[in-house]
Structure 1
Amino acid sequence: MSLGGQIAIVTGASRGIGRGIALQLGEAGATVYITGRRPESSLNSQVGLSSLEETAQEITKRGGKGIAKYVDHTDMKEVEQFFADFEKETGGRLDILVNNAYQAVQAISDNMGKPFYTYDPYVWDTVNNVGLRNHYFCTVFAARIMVKSGNKGLIVNVSSAGGLRYLFNVAYGVGKQALDRLSADVAVELRKNNICTVSLWPGAFFANGETVEYPGKAIVALANDSRRMSKTGKILVTADLGSEYGFVDIDGVSPNNLRSLSFLLERSGWTQTAQYIPAWLKIPGWVIWAGSSRL
């Protein structure tokens, strides 16, 4: 699948899912602007390339064009300046925005298992400033460029099943559910501009799970779909897109689906029972929603 001539932005692409997505967009031929935090010290920057710059080089090696930009996604003035500079550099073209930047991994780990009222309430800001507020700001600035250019566009918010019911802590679940709602509501207003906006739920990344590049394959496939507007506003599971578009992970394997009954039984400890359930048997989306905390 080719994205030659297209220009993308992937936030938070120094490592992990963001890096995997950026690499796959580059492999498909896109010019990919990637953002990440500056090296922690001048010493680190003098030792060698940062992880962000290394990712940009790998994008170029794979056939695209990687452009690294240091952006502090906790500072909305800096975010706004990045998009202003981007618009000048590209002549006002933006085809794909992937909102992936996140900073709360350590905060979530430090407070795991603790009631929300026992730790600093400012954890909320750590979890949802970059992971939600920043995504809204990036979406605003990206939409201005896309609408002005008159070209169709794709906005992907990397979310998770944590928006369904309690996971990790209160701030995390609220933020993920809000991010899914952000995608849905933005889609309502951008539909007339032919800009597709979705939430993407990657699967698990432990043993027998997805690699960090599998979500990138899903986005490449979606970007190549001339009928993708039928999906705007929806939550999309990476493995569902793999089945629909016929792609596999970089290791040649089709990862487990979050909605697969055998996968859910296995993760719940019912290992022997799971062996007798075909992998293609999935729980319908409406059943998952009905069992969530939303009702």
Structure 2
Amino acid sequence: MNAPLHGKVALVAGATRGAGRGIAVELGTAGATVYCTGRSTRQRRSDYDRPETIEDTAEMVTAAGGRGVAVEVDHCDPDQVRALVERIEADCGKLDVLVNNLGGENLTDFGGPLWERSLDNGIRRLRVSIEAHMITSYHALGLLHRRPGGLSVEITDGTAEVDGEHYRAETGAFFDIAKFTAHRMAWVQGQELRAHGCTAVSLTPGWLRSELMLELFGVTEENWRDATATEPHFCISESPRFVGRAVAALASDPDVARWNGQSLSSGGLAKVYGFTDLDGTRPDSWRYIVEVTYAGKPADDAGYR
């Protein structure tokens, strides 16, 4: 069995659902030991009140061929994150891959300028998307940097190029600042990790078919195209496993340092590494968003898969 990450140790911070779960499972498929963290457990739901749990994700990692380890962690709490990294060091003696996928999908406040949005939700989003990322990087990179070849991935929404030229008014200022900051975090980490032979990147999926998004449209992964009757541009969407395969490809690349400090997308990396989504296609969501959605053209994913 092809397991290029056998013997590697990964931490996916925010692995309960969505992109985090897809990434954890694909790292497991490649043979890695994956620490799956979050606040939603079988014993206690987080304030998101969602059914997905970190135990479910860890079991999926193991079923895929890796070893999944579920650890309940609030990444806004430095003591909990420090204890997590100490456990990883005690268990494995190293950390090869850090994936910062902390975000807060239920905190987006749609519509209106900054002063008309929820301040509480906005500040919470900044805490989860910036402060928690910094806390996690502070502790995890202290272990990761000790061995050359380590990889740090800041998961975000949008590329630096697209976000630098377009403001998504529907999601607003807090979302914009939180997501764009991830690019700078990765760039800074890249400058500091380079001397240790390690790499940092920011990475965005496209329009993600997360559990929440599928529920919103009343579809499943099997019949997701039915949602295009309501939202035609959903045709360019991708499964969480697609960005997972992007991370696995990066982590398996002996020349991953060529990407250091860069802003990357799942669709862009698919062209380089040759992986596909679950349906065998390669959705290039951000090129589609610029050339079709932002250009006001009718929905049509021909030439973007």
The TM-score with structure 1 as length reference comes to 0.83
| Structure 2 equivalent of residue 51 of structure 1 | 53
| Structure 2 equivalent of residue 230 of structure 1 | 258
User: Counterparts of 1:127 and 1:97 in 2: how far apart (Å)?
Assistant: 21
User: Counterparts of 1:80 and 1:169 in 2: how far apart (Å)?
Assistant: 33
Counterpart residue type for residue 146 of structure 1:
L
Q: CA RMSD in A?
A: 2.5
User: Counterparts of 1:63 and 1:260 in 2: how far apart (Å)?
Assistant: 34
| Match among 152, 156, 162 for residue 155 of structure 1 | 152
User: Counterparts of 1:119 and 1:253 in 2: how far apart (Å)?
Assistant: 38
1:234 Cα shift? Answer: 0.2
SS in structure 2 at match of 1:74: coil
User: Counterparts of 1:151 and 1:73 in 2: how far apart (Å)?
Assistant: 25
| Structure 2 equivalent of residue 140 of structure 1 | 138
Counterpart residue type for residue 94 of structure 1:
L
User: Counterparts of 2:118 and 2:282 in 1: how far apart (Å)?
Assistant: 41
Aligned residue runs from structure 1 range 242-253, under 5 A: 242-253=270-281
1:237 Cα shift? Answer: 1.2
Aligned residue runs from structure 1 range 104-253, under 5 A: 105-108=105-108, 111-148=109-146, 150-161=147-158, 163-164=163-164, 165-167=166-168, 168-205=171-208, 206-253=234-281
User: Counterparts of 2:45 and 2:154 in 1: how far apart (Å)?
Assistant: 34
The TM-score with structure 2 as length reference comes to 0.80
User: Counterparts of 1:202 and 1:57 in 2: how far apart (Å)?
Assistant: 23
Q: In 2 relative to 1, CA 173–266 (structure 1 residues): closer, same or farther, beyond 3 Å?
A: closer
The sequence identity of aligned pairs, in percent, is: 31
1:114 Cα shift? Answer: 2.7
Counterpart residue type for residue 20 of structure 1:
G
User: Counterparts of 2:107 and 2:192 in 1: how far apart (Å)?
Assistant: 34
Q: Of the two, which has the highest radius of gyration?
A: 1
Counterpart residue type for residue 8 of structure 1:
A
| Contact 1:38–1:71 (Cα < 8 Å) also in 2 | no
User: Counterparts of 2:24 and 2:42 in 1: how far apart (Å)?
Assistant: 22
User: Counterparts of 1:97 and 1:43 in 2: how far apart (Å)?
Assistant: 24
Gapped runs of 5+ residues in structure 1? 281-295
Gapped runs of 5+ residues in structure 2? 209-233
Q: In 2 relative to 1, CA 42–25 (structure 1 residues): closer, same or farther, beyond 3 Å?
A: closer
Identify which range, 166-175 or 7-16, moves more after superposition: 166-175
| Structure 2 equivalent of residue 83 of structure 1 | 85
1:183 Cα shift? Answer: 0.6
